[in-house]
């Protein structure tokens, strides 16, 4: 060791005990030891409190700015709503500046980024995610961007949980659970709906509901809800008094509503995808910003319910004030007949997903959680209104709007239980649980053949980067295949003689010898058993080259670093191979994957998760 000199990397691993980093890590370890076995529950509460505070702060700030701008536009000294054309552009412009100069151009995509982190990133989210989505979505929605705050605040809560877990040096599965606690707390804090917060994590983030996870998620959700009640009072998001109790005679109407809401969900999914894809094709961000925000401003000018989240007008629908919603659109200028109401509501249903995708595609930051609720309310109210005009004794339009909210959200997010309990909790009533479940089930069944994944997960599913409730698939997603690659094989080069191979055998503990060319590209493999008979014949050492001795290989023998874990597993199963050759994308040799080690890691993962 004489003359040894450490570098920066070695200095990190050989920290002095009095260094600031060593002291910091020692402090957190002492905290864990002091708290004992209950420390994880306390961390869940801590994450819930933080995400609840963030949710309350975000909602309060956005609502205050919304009300101020609405007052200036229609009731203030400006004398009209012309400013509504430019408000969204101001918000989106400020968001883009924040992303460029503060977030340094690295802005996540909310829930999809959280899902990707869970499957590929060890559930570790950057520290800046604890505030960037919060600030950016506030700027976008406060100035009228037609999207939601729920997804950004959920991703913010998830980042808080992830970084708390990392700070305390927890293992990956516990960091993943704390990430879920943050997201659950955010949803619970926004709506004061703890059960919906837990179910959001189970159905949307697809974290398994075990005894351990259930306790942690409940603690976090309840903590966040308590913060929201303490700071904002007992009023819920949508105050609604149930007047129509469930009756068997209403089942046909609810079935029709479920089917219509499934079409509304599919329209929402397809339209948001099409508009955002069309905007992405415009290479210039400036053109995207100008075109998207201008069209959005025009939409809002003619249809004020498209401004911001839209919860103000959704509340009016639930309170039986559908005419007020119609009055806030230009269609009201043509009269007050029933056809005016129908046309106005239909146009709002058709325009809401377009306005949402224009907001996000032009540079704004927001989610689709809130817009799906608004679209569901509009759809439900419209269906009931049309039925009443046709002479049918359908349930009250406000009741149908409430149930439509759950049905459309189910179709968009593939989360029937979360949608059902969310509506029940935010209205403070479980009297409509049966029709809520019925419509959500119908919507889920009708949408699933066309869209098998939620709006957050469908792109990740196509890429093979989605973590699901499938134990096998989840295990392979979470196992770090690269850590299983074995590299202690002695290589031989193309053109080497048998003599060189014998020398390699002398120093090798393995029975496989990869053959590479001068650029480290894989050419084949030599198996010790194939050459055992000739390695003790010195007269043959210069007669044979490694090309004469190596075995040919097929696609079933090779995997690449970019291959998905499931592809690797399939090759083990189909080819019945004991070892697979690992190459990079340039066909250069990396190492071997052992069947025994791979499936041993799988069994260990399953054993660990089963203990919960």
Residues 39 and 174 in one domain: yes
Residue at 227 is within a domain:
yes
Pair 300, 66: CB distance under 8 Å: no
Residue at 323 is within a domain:
yes
Residues 37 and 126 in one domain: yes
Residues 460 and 321 in one domain: yes
**3-state SS string for 55-103:** HHHHHHHHHHHHHHHHHHHHHCCCCCCHHHHCHHHHHHHHHHHHHHHCC
Q: Which of 442, 466, 490 is the last residue of a domain?
A: 466
Q: What are phi and psi of 581, to 5 degrees?
A: -80, 135
CA distances from 475 to 122, 431, 607 (A): 13, 40, 11
**pLDDT at position 438, please?**
94
How does pLDDT run across 86-131, given as a tens digit for each residue? 889 999 999 999 988 888 766 656 788 888 887 777 788 888 888 8
Residue at 7 is within a domain:
no
Residue 268 in this model has a pLDDT that exceeds 90: yes
CATH number of the domain that residue 179 is part of: 1.10.3080.10
Residue at 27 is within a domain:
no
Residue 253 in this model has a pLDDT that exceeds 90: yes
Residues 186 and 135 in one domain: yes
- Return d(Cα 342, Cα 540) in angstroms, integer: 92
CA-nearest of 267, 458, 459, 261 to 354 is: 267
User: Facing residues of 515 across strands?
Assistant: 492, 524
Residue at 16 is within a domain:
no
Residue at 165 is within a domain:
yes
Q: How many domains does the chain have?
A: 3
Q: Which of 446, 466, 486 is the last residue of a domain?
A: 466
Structural domain containing residue 67:
33-232
Residues 69 and 216 in one domain: yes
Residues 417 and 303 in one domain: yes
Residues 460 and 499 in one domain: no
Give buried/exposed letters for 51-84 (b at 16+ CB in 10 A, else e): bbbbbbebbebbbebbeebbeebeeeeeeebebb
Residues 527 and 561 in one domain: yes
Residues 453 and 537 in one domain: no
Residues 83 and 161 in one domain: yes
Residues 55 and 195 in one domain: yes
Confidence of residue 22 (pLDDT cuts 50, 70, 90): very low
Lowest mean pLDDT among 116-120, 167-171, 479-483, 565-569: 479-483
Q: What is the mean pLDDT of the chain?
A: 81
Residues 299 and 425 in one domain: yes
How does pLDDT run across 24-47, given as a tens digit for each residue? 445 555 555 545 456 788 899 999
Q: Which of 181, 205, 232 is the last residue of a domain?
A: 232
Lowest mean pLDDT among 46-55, 407-416, 469-478: 469-478
CATH number of the domain that residue 565 is part of: 3.10.580.10
């Amino acid at each position: 060791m004489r003359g040894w000199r450490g570098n920066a990397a070695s200095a990190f691993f050989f920290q002095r005990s009095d260094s600031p980093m060593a002291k910091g890590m020692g402090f957190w370890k002492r905290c864990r030891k002091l708290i004992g076995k209950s420390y994880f529950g306390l961390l869940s509460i801590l994450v819930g409190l933080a995400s609840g505070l963030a949710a309350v702060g975000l909602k309060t700030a956005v609502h205050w700015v919304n009300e101020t701008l609405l007052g200036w536009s229609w009731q203030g000294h400006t004398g009209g709503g012309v400013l509504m054309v430019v408000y969204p552009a101001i918000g989106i412009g400020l968001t883009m500046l924040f992303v460029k100069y503060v977030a340094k151009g690295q802005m996540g995509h909310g829930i999809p980024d959280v899902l990707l982190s869970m499957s590929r990133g060890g559930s570790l989210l950057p520290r800046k995610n604890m505030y960037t989505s919060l600030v950016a979505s506030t700027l976008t929605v406060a100035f009228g961007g037609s999207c939601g705050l729920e997804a950004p605040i959920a991703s913010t809560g998830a980042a808080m949980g992830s970084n708390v877990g990392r700070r305390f040096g927890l293992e990956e599965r516990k960091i993943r659970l704390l990430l879920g606690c943050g997201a659950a707390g955010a949803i619970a804090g926004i709506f004061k709906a703890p059960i919906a917060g837990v179910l959001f994590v189970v159905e949307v983030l697809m974290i398994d509901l075990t005894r351990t996870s259930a306790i942690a998620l409940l603690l976090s959700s309840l903590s966040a809800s308590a913060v929201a009640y303490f700071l904002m009072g007992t009023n819920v998001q949508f105050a609604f008094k149930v007047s129509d109790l469930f009756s068997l005679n209403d089942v046909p109407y609810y079935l029709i509503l479920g089917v219509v809401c499934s079409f509304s969900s599919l329209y929402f999914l397809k339209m948001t995808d099409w508009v955002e894809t069309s905007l992405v094709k415009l290479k210039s961000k400036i053109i995207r910003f100008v075109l998207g925000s201008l069209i959005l401003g025009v939409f809002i000018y003619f249809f004020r319910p498209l401004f911001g989240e839209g919860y103000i007008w959704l509340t009016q629908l639930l309170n039986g004030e559908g005419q007020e919603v119609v009055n806030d659109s230009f269609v009201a200028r043509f009269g007050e007949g029933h056809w005016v109401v129908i046309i106005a509501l239909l146009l709002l249903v058709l325009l809401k997903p377009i306005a949402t995708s224009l907001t996000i595609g032009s540079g704004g930051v927001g989610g689709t959680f809130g817009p799906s609720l608004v679209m569901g309310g509009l759809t439900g109210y419209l269906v009931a209104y049309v039925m009443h005009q046709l002479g049918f004794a359908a349930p009250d339009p406000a009741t149908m709007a409430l149930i439509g909210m759950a049905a459309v959200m189910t179709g968009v997010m593939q989360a029937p239980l979360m949608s059902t309990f969310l509506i029940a909790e935010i209205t403070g009533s479980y009297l409509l649980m049966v029709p809520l479940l019925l419509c959500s089930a119908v919507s889920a069944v009708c949408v699933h053949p066309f869209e098998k994944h939620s709006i957050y997960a469908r792109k990740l599913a196509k890429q093979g980067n989605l973590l699901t409730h499938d134990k096998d698939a989840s295990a392979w997603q979470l196992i770090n295949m690269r850590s299983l690659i074995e590299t202690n094989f002695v290589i031989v080069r193309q053109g080497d003689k048998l003599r060189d191979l014998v020398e390699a055998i002398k120093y090798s503990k393995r029975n496989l010898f990869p053959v590479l060319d001068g650029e480290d590209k894989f050419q084949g493999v030599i198996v010790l058993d194939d050459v055992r008979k000739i390695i003790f014949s010195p007269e043959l050492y210069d007669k044979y080259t490694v090309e004469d001795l190596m075995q040919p290989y097929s696609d079933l023998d090779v995997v690449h670093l970019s291959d998905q874990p499931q592809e690797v597993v399939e090759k083990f199963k189909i080819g019945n191979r004991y070892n697979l050759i690992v190459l990079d994308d340039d066909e250069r040799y990396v190492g071997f994957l052992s069947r025994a080690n791979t499936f041993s890691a799988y069994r260990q993962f399953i054993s660990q998760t089963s203990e919960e």
